[in-house]
Structure formats: structure tokens, C-alpha cells
Structure 1
């Protein structure tokens, strides 16, 4: 049972030609040149999706987002059929792991060649049971931009899932320095945004809310699935512009992402928050069982 599986795309973008769309290679073998712009400049995009029983979850939604992110960077349109085939092949080889994930990476390639690079790496997942059951501690950090900066400054690539994650990882390190597990970004004018690797959900009575994607944040695939789950239970769902006071008014909070799934928020800036264990358990059971 392999712990890691790697597929390199031989035809990652539309219009490219290759006998086969990808090839499986040894994940420990060197396959990427140091001249690749994904390495030297973080010039590329990526997606990560969960794998259950050897099947990648929400493949279409992730490929749609990959294509949208690529367009925002003026990268050639990804060949979604090639990426889908590679993703399915990699995920299938992880079927014996209780939980796994695949990461799709698409870069501009070596400067001057005009040929993008693409690969799909699959791996077994760490155990997220503690975060899912005991909750996480969150700190609120200023992202340094107004909530309307995405429309005013599109070159900042807000809402694109780019490889340039240095700021996100620095924020996570700051959270650990403050004794917390994760970060909630807010705009300079006090509007809730997202986590470095997660979307936030707020439960208010029978409503499930999340910040509007018009704020230049990533459209969460797991968040969208959580909304479908909530609506099936008779709840209403909504994308909204929410201030920091919404955190105190919510009955419960969650951070959701493709691999960790739903992690209830136990505290915000050191202030304890109520959790909803029953809803959390049902939501995680639904997310872990999905096969689309």
C-alpha cells in the first residue's frame, strides 16, 4: 500500500498533444527543474482535495476552481480531462488508506519556454480526529487590505489559489506563537474573510453563514458541500458581508477545508466559544462519506 503516489502531466493545458495525458513516476525521483517558475517565483496555482475509499472528492468543483485560478494568472487553460484522469488514477492507488488527499499543481513552467508544468501528488492524510472532536483555538489577524480591494486591485490575485502561500504560512506561525491552532483573517475595515487554508462557517439559529466570495476570498468547495448538507436538514444558507461582531453573535463556528473537513472553533483570541458537537459529528460524517 503506497503512502505517496505521483503523476506528472504530459499534456497539462488545452491544445497540447501527448500519447498519454500523464505518467506515473516514483515520488522520490527528481522530476522538477529548479528553473521552473513555480519554484523560483511561486508562479502557479494548485488544488487539494480529499480522497475516501480511493475516490477523490468534489473533482469537478476543484477542476473548475483550478481553471478559474489559472485564468486569473493568465496561464493557459488546463486540460481538465487530463487532470481528471491523473487525479482519478492517483486517488485509486490510495484506496487502502482510511483518509488521503491529492494535490494538483500547475505552474508556468521554465521561463521562456511557454510550456506549463503540472503534477498530481497523492498522500495518506494525518489524523485530524482531535481537531474535529475537541475543536481548535483561533486568533484574528488583519490581512492588511480593505474588504473591497479585490475589485479595486485585481492584480493582487485575491480569490485565486496560487502557490504564493508564504504570507498564509507566516500567519499560521504567528498563531502558534500566540498559542493558537489557526487564523481568521479580517480586512483592515473589520470584515471577516477566511483562514489561511480554510473557510469559516457561522451558525446562527437555523442559518449557516459564510463570508461572501465577492470579498476576494477563495470559493470553498468544502464550504459549498457544508451548505448543501445544511439545506438538506432544513436550514437556510447565505453568503454575507460580516463584521467581527458576527463572531460573538454566532451560536457556533467552524473552519472547513478539504482534508481536515469541519473543525469546530473552541476559542477566538482566547475567549471560549460554545461548540455544537452533534452538528459537527453529522457534518464530518457527511463530508467523509461523500464520493463525488
Structure 2
């Protein structure tokens, strides 16, 4: 099932054509997006997702998103959803039509079922590989025009990385910088378990600030875990007590192996952290 709504709150047929072929989001990937988990009609971290949408839009010199309009589109989708208890809600904003003198952006919200691969990963964990992202940790600050840390529609590299993982018999990827430090996954944030502490890399190195990671950290602190944001290296991931990938629809997914090396199952910690995360939205 899918439900499509535009920013004025009107619904549209998701199987019909609505985006012009000369829309810059299609032609050049010139736009931004967010994906939000909705459970029992309640979107998780809607405010932080809208904040991040605005942050990404600013990085791309797009008009500031009309927050009330986006909230209206979200409500239209949720009020008309008749599928399962969970859905993935995508918010998409593009620069609009190529050559439009008024520079009117295109925006819509789309509710979709969550894919089987995501659900399987939640239950069984995933095998991941490391891939060099080809950047150094200081590049984001030296070259802001590269848009590192923006959630843009230009996801060709991210999707190519996942295809490379599949070619190598894995499911997902942990990107690394040229100095070997850990960045993020193509669609996720890296979280490392070390005893009763969970760690994630800092966003200033050019990664997306994770909304789900923030929720996991809040819940973990209430459950008695310590949390740290600090640089990590691949050796840290291999010698830790558990490794997870966090994102809106995958929640907190366990990494079973990294580059063919089996990682600790961390079954109890994973269950405790997942329960603490879910308690944030109870």
C-alpha cells in the first residue's frame, strides 16, 4: 500500500504521474529527503526529521521548508493509511522544474510499506563490509559545497555501495574515511557497544546526524548505559562488544559480521537497548 500527499494536504494517486520529467530532483538529484518510521499512526521524531530536512535544504540553498505545510502533508498521509501498523514515510523536496524563473520547489509525502529485507535484518541481523568513502575526516569543514552531511537525493554512491556489498555476499556497508576512521552506513548510523557504553562517530566529520541514534542514546542513558560521541576506527568495531546500524525503519539492527569476521552477538545488550529505544515512544 502507498499513500501520496502534496504540501497543500491534497491526496493523489501514487500510481499516476505527478513529477515532470524536467524536475531537477529527477534530472540532477537536486533535492533533499527524509524517511520517518510511523508506528500505530505516530511518526517517530517528526520534529527532528523536519529540522534535519530544513538543515539539508539550507546546505543546498533550497527555500526554507514550510513546516506547517509538511505537517499538513504528513497528517494527510497518516489519516488515509489503512495498511499495517508500521510504515515508512518519505518526505521529498526538490528544486523544482529546470528553468522555472520562480524557482518553485516540488514537495510531497509518501507513505509506504516497510520492505521484507529491512524486517529480516531487524530480526536476524546483517553482515556488513567496510568500503572506503574516499574522503578524509576534515573534508566536510574544508569543502562545504560537497554537501557531506546533507541528506540529498544524490544517493547514487550509497546505492552502489550496497550493491557492492551484495556482490561480496554481505547485506550492508560501513563507510570509512581515507585515514581508516569510521563514518556511517549508506542509510544508517554506526553505534558501537563497549561494555555498558555505546559510541557513535561525530557528525562534524561529514556524516548525517542520526535521529534514530539520538533516540537510542536517550533511551540507553535512562537504562543505565553511558553514551559517547567520538572518532572510531575499524579495529574498534572489530574488538567491541557489539555493533549496530541504526536508522528510522531498521531501528537498531545488529551487525553479525564485518568484513567476514564474526562479531559478538550482544543478544542481551541488543534486547535491552532496543527495549529502551522503544520505551521512548511508548
- TM-score normalised by structure 2 residue count: 0.95
Task: Call closer, same or farther: CA 1:65–1:230 in 2, change over 3 Å.
Answer: same
What are the superposed Cα offsets for residues 241-279 of structure 1, whole Å, 9 maximum, x if unpaired? 112221123100000110011110100000000022223
Q: Which among 68, 79, 85 is matched to residue 92 of structure 1? A: 79
What are the superposed Cα offsets for residues 76-120 of structure 1, whole Å, 9 maximum, x if unpaired? 000011101211221233364122110000000002221000000
What are the superposed Cα offsets for residues 62-88 of structure 1, whole Å, 9 maximum, x if unpaired? 000000000000000000111012112
- TM-score normalised by structure 1 residue count: 0.92
In structure 2, the residue matched to 1:250 is: 240
State the Cα distance separating 1:287 from its structure 2 match.
4.5
Q: Which among 38, 41, 62 is matched to residue 51 of structure 1? A: 38
Structure 2 unaligned spans of 5+: none
What are the superposed Cα offsets for residues 108-140 of structure 1, whole Å, 9 maximum, x if unpaired? 000222100000000121244431232110100
Q: Which among 257, 261, 275 is matched to residue 271 of structure 1? A: 261
State the Cα distance separating 1:290 from its structure 2 match.
5.1
Q: Is the 8 A contact 1:192 1:243 kept in 2?
A: yes
Q: Is the 8 A contact 2:31 2:57 kept in 1?
A: yes
In structure 1, the residue matched to 2:104 is: 115
Q: Is the 8 A contact 1:94 1:124 kept in 2?
A: no
In structure 1, the residue matched to 2:18 is: 31
In structure 2, the residue matched to 1:222 is: 212
Q: Is the 8 A contact 2:128 2:174 kept in 1?
A: yes
State the Cα distance separating 1:288 from its structure 2 match.
5.1
Q: Is the 8 A contact 2:83 2:113 kept in 1?
A: no
Q: Is the 8 A contact 1:198 1:256 kept in 2?
A: yes
In structure 1, the residue matched to 2:161 is: 171
Task: Call closer, same or farther: CA 1:291–1:90 in 2, change over 3 Å.
Answer: farther
In structure 2, the residue matched to 1:16 is: none
Q: Is the 8 A contact 1:36 1:110 kept in 2?
A: yes
1:146 matches 2:136: yes
1:135 matches 2:125: yes
For 1:45 and 1:189, the matched residues in 2 are separated by 28
Q: 1:66 aligns to what SS in structure 2?
A: helix
Q: 1:158 aligns to what SS in structure 2?
A: coil
For 1:287 and 1:97, the matched residues in 2 are separated by 21
Q: Which among 3, 6, 17 is matched to residue 5 of structure 1? A: 3
Q: 2:10 aligns to what SS in structure 1?
A: strand
For 1:136 and 1:70, the matched residues in 2 are separated by 32
Q: Is the 8 A contact 2:74 2:109 kept in 1?
A: yes
For 1:198 and 1:174, the matched residues in 2 are separated by 16
Q: Is the 8 A contact 1:52 1:288 kept in 2?
A: no
Q: Which among 100, 103, 117 is matched to residue 90 of structure 2? A: 103
Worse-superposed segment, 186-195 or 271-280: 271-280
In structure 1, the residue matched to 2:114 is: 125
Q: Is the 8 A contact 1:192 1:242 kept in 2?
A: yes
In structure 2, the residue matched to 1:66 is: 53
Give the CA RMSD over aligned residues: 1.5
